[in-house]
Structure 1
Amino acid sequence: MAFGVVAASLSRAPSIVTTRGCYVTRASLPNKSLKFSKEYNWKHNSRSIFERGSTITTCEKHDEKKYLMNVTQSHEAEPHSQTILKSIVHALDAFRKFSRFYAFIAMVVGSLSTSLLAVDNLTELYPTFFNGFLQCMAAYFFMHLYIVGINQLADLEIDKINKPYLPLASGNYSFRTAVITVTSFLFTGFGIAWMIGSKPLLWTIFASFVLMTAYSVNLPLLRWKKSTILTVMGNTLSMVISFNLGPFYHMKTHVLKKAATFPRSLLFAVVVMSMYYIVIALTKDIPDIEGDKEAGLQTLAVRLGPKTVFWSSVLLLEMAYGAAIIIGASSPFLWSKIFVVLSHAIMALFVWYRSTLVDLSNKDSLQAFYMLIFKLFSVENILMLFVR
């Protein structure tokens, strides 16, 4: 009979679970926290209730504990999976910032365009060609990671001012971890080039290593970024070798098994793209004047000011388009002559118009123009395929 009374009371809402002088309503078990609130029932005839409730105390406690465990686990499983997903996304975003992926994309586009210059006819575009190009890009990828990594290690204090969003400057990567990772990238790049067995590729990797290490590392006779002349020379020479000469002779001699030549299209690539490389080397320092001043780096932007360097860079771009128009106009093929001249005239007008919209006092505006140069660089690599 006592059990019947308790069972009847449990069937009504909100149900009461009696547990040794306290009661817990199921309504008091919220979805997430599920806290028991103890209240002593002194206003009722507690003795009879306690005695009758004691017959189900053990079973009811077991059921409530089981209920609590199930609900808690169901709510903890989702946040745990979300935490893992957020950690993965955060790690990928940090690696994206560390790798400066936009620069590698420019390298891929430039190398592919130059590699296509090594092809004499479309019948040579068979799987061996693309396999050779992918091998080249695998070695380039790890060498690129080494170059951006060693530069961030050497510029750690400067980047805390100029680029605090970078993972090493922001503290997402520890210095020790970055050193180990960057070193592994270097050996991996050399290892891939060695296994491929291409002499032009191996020499390209070696030249990039020497030039960009000398540019970044703060050792006697090194740290070329302190000098404007050495900065422009080192960056331009490294990019000409990596983007143009290296891929061309790797594809020509190692992949296609042909004799080394220096065609008109390669001359166009070296002359015109060299001006792009100089502009990239100059404009990349304009948004970083504040940090470079504190570090004592006498870049051209620090010495002459952002306005002078900016308009000098724009003038160099216009000169590059002028050289492209002259080389294109001397082509023996009419279709090539018309296309190259017209396309570069349009590019020259666009660059001049876009440069007039830049706010030289705004760091974001200067950075946007710097990123525009990489887009123009990619377009130019496509246009040079039509030079004959």
Structure 2
Amino acid sequence: MFENIGSYGVGSVSRCRGWKTMEKYCMERSQQYFLKHYVKEIGERSTFYRRQNRTLLVNAAAGHPFESDPGAYNQNSIWDSFKNGFDAFYRFSRPHTVIGTALSIVSVSLLSVEKLSDFSPLFITGVLEAVVAALFMNIYIVGLNQLYDIDIDKVNKPYLPLASGEFSVVTGIMIVLSFSIMSFFLGWIVGSWPLFWALFISFVLGTAYSIKLPMLRWKRSAVVAAMCILAVRAVIVQLAFFLHMQTHVYKRPATFSRPLIFATAFMSFFSVVIALFKDIPDIDGDKIYGIQSFTVRLGQKRVFWICISLLLMAYGVAILVGASSGFLWSKSITVLGHTILSLILWNQANSVDLNSKAAITSFYMFIWKAQYNEI
């Protein structure tokens, strides 16, 4: 028994020494293996970073931005924000009204020119003073109307920035106040009484048209609303800005020429048509919020053809006036031009789908373009 135990002990010692030797050998081989691969990995990473740095240097030399540069991302973000803000303000300003106002002022200013020498830096300065001040007031008027029509515009014009939520009410108020102040400040600096009174009357009528106060909010009355638009676009724009050029810029006595009277009468037709037609695509929201426009009272189709009839009458009057002109070139251009315009108008009107809001809105923009042609 003891022999067997002794024999077992000696073999165990021998095997233990063998295991230790094997363990030591395995550890050394493992360390060599990991060290080899670690060095290899470091070499590969070093090569990768050298290549990456070389690529970045080449891009920098070629003027290309680094993909990982946070400044490029910030610049793109700032530029996108600027573009979105400008687009929202562009829609807020109602650009078709801005264009119409600017062209009307330039056109009526040309009626004050009596001789070639009147085209001078003085003329350009006087026109710019009138246009800039009037556009500031125009933005005040259309902006104020949007502030008080947010709920209506969510139905009628959801693309406007206040209705869509792109502008907050506070932002709208700040824009409206800023542009009204700038308009009056410019009018005061210029020192032209016709210009100042044009701005003041436009301010009063534009405010009374939109603001919700007792005896105001005149847009709820179809007749009063039309008269406000007629007074501003047909009378004030024509007469006041003509007097601005005549009396303030050229220092001449106030006189109303035949072309000025005709232009005022002709633009009165267009102003009435615009006042009536603008409510045709807005019938849904106006019905919901109790705006008693002519379209709500008479229906879209009837008001549409009343507008077409008024425009055709205006073109007819222009043709008669042109035919009575003593100048052959003036007679030919006026008669032929308004004949073509009346035919285009009739053709476009007959192709409008009155059940499509998009088609009606498109035709409304066509009327503004027709007014631009007359200006």
* Structure holding more helix per residue: 2
Tell me how far apart the structure 1 counterparts of residues 367 and 74 of structure 2 sit (CA, whole Å).
43
- 224, 229, 249: which one aligns with 1:235: 229
The structure 1 residue matched to 2:123, chosen from 120, 124, 129, is 129
Cα 1:46–1:189 change in 2 (3 A) is farther
CA contact (8 A) 2:101 2:135 kept: no
CA drift of 1:245 comes to: 1.1
Q: Deviations over 1:304-345 (max 9, x none)?
A: 111000000000001111222232233343432333223222
Deviation for aligned residue 1:363 = 0.6
Match of 2:7 in 1: none
Aligned to 1:264, which of 258, 262, 265?
A: 258
- Choose which of 368, 374, 378 in structure 1 pairs with 2:368: 374
Question: Does the Cα contact within 8 Å between 1:111 and 1:242 map onto a contact in 2?
Answer: no
AA aligned opposite 2:363: F
Q: 2:68 corresponds to which residue?
A: 75
Identify the residue that residue 355 of structure 1 maps to in structure 2.
349
Output the CA distance in 2 between the equivalents of 1:147 and 1:46.
Answer: 84
How much does 1:124 deviate? 0.8
Residue of structure 1 in register with 2:13 after alignment? none
Per the alignment, residue 3 of structure 1 pairs with none
Q: What's the C-alpha RMSD, in Å, of the aligned pairs?
A: 2.6
Name the CA shift for 1:204/1:61 in 2 (closer, same or farther; >3 Å). Answer: same
Residue 80 of structure 2 is matched in structure 1 by 86
Shift of 1:370: 0.4
Unaligned runs of 5+ in 1: 1-44, 382-388
Measure how far apart 1:138 and its partner are: 1.3
Counting aligned pairs with the same residue, the percent is 44
CA distance, structure 2, for counterparts of residue 65 and residue 222 of structure 1: 73
The AA in structure 1 aligned to 2:262 is F
Verify: 1:285 aligned to 2:279, yes or no: yes
Query: SS of the counterpart of 1:75?
Result: coil
In the alignment, which residue of structure 2 is the partner of 1:214?
208
Deviations 1:8-60 (A, max 9, x none): xxxxxxxxxxxxxxxxxxxxxxxxxxxxxxxxxxxxx6433334567799999
Aligned counterparts of 1:202 and 1:128: Cα–Cα separation in 2: 19
The corresponding residue for 1:143 is 137
CA distance in 1, matches of 2:68, 2:282: 47
2:100 is aligned with what amino acid?
Answer: A
- SS in structure 1 at match of 2:188: helix
**Contact 1:216 / 1:223 at 8 angstroms: preserved in 2?**
yes
Report the Cα distance in structure 1 between the residues aligned to 2:170 and 2:278, rounded to whole angstroms.
Answer: 27
- d(CA) in 1 for partners of 2:196 and 2:47? 71
SS where residue 256 of structure 2 aligns? Answer: coil
Of the candidates 31, 39, 60, which is equivalent to residue 47 of structure 1?
31
Matched, 1:162 2:146: no
Say which is worse superposed, 234-243 or 312-321, in terms of deviation. 234-243
Q: Aligned match of 2:321 in 321, 327, 341?
A: 327
Detail structure 1 runs of 4+ shifted over 4 Å in the superposition: 51-73
> TM-score scaled by structure 1?
0.81
Unmatched runs of 5 consecutive residues or more in structure 2: 1-28, 57-64
Moved more, 343-352 or 56-65: 56-65
1:219 to partner: Cα distance: 0.9
Deviations 1:265-298 (A, max 9, x none): 0111111110000000111111111111111111
CA–CA distance in 2 between the matches of 1:371 and 1:220? 33
- 1:100: how far off? 1.1
User: 1:154 Cα shift?
Assistant: 0.7
Aligned to 1:315: 309
What SS is found at the alignment partner of 2:363?
A: helix
**Conserved 8 A contact 1:100-1:148:** yes
**Aligned mates of 2:50, 2:278 — CA distance in 1:** 63
Say whether the 8 Å CA contact 2:319–2:335 is kept in structure 1.
Answer: yes
State the match for 1:341 in structure 2: 335
8 Å CA contact 2:235, 2:264 repeated in 1:
no
Q: Cα distance 1:82–1:316, how it changes in 2: closer, same or farther (>3 A)?
A: same
Larger deviation: 135-144 or 194-203? 135-144
Letter of the 1:258 partner, please give it.
R
Query: Which secondary structure state, in structure 1, belongs to the residue aligned with residue 252 of structure 2?
Result: coil
Return the match for 2:295 from 295, 301, 318.
301
The residue that corresponds to 1:202 in the other structure is 196
Which residue matches 1:105? 99
Looking at CA atoms only, which structure, 1 or 2, has the larger radius of gyration? 2
SS at match of 1:173: coil
Q: Which whole-Å CA distance do the structure 1 matches of 2:173 and 2:81 have between them?
A: 22
Aligned counterpart, 1:176: 170
Q: What SS does the corresponding residue of 1:144 show, helix, strand or coil? A: helix
Cα shift at 1:80: 3.2
Query: 1:353 is paired with a residue of what secondary structure?
Result: helix
Give the CA deviation at 1:67: 9.4
Which shows bigger deviation, 150-159 or 337-346?
337-346
8 Å contact 1:132–1:251 — kept in the other structure?
A: yes
Deviations for 1:162-196, whole angstroms, at most 9, x for unmatched residues? 11111111111110121122111101100000000
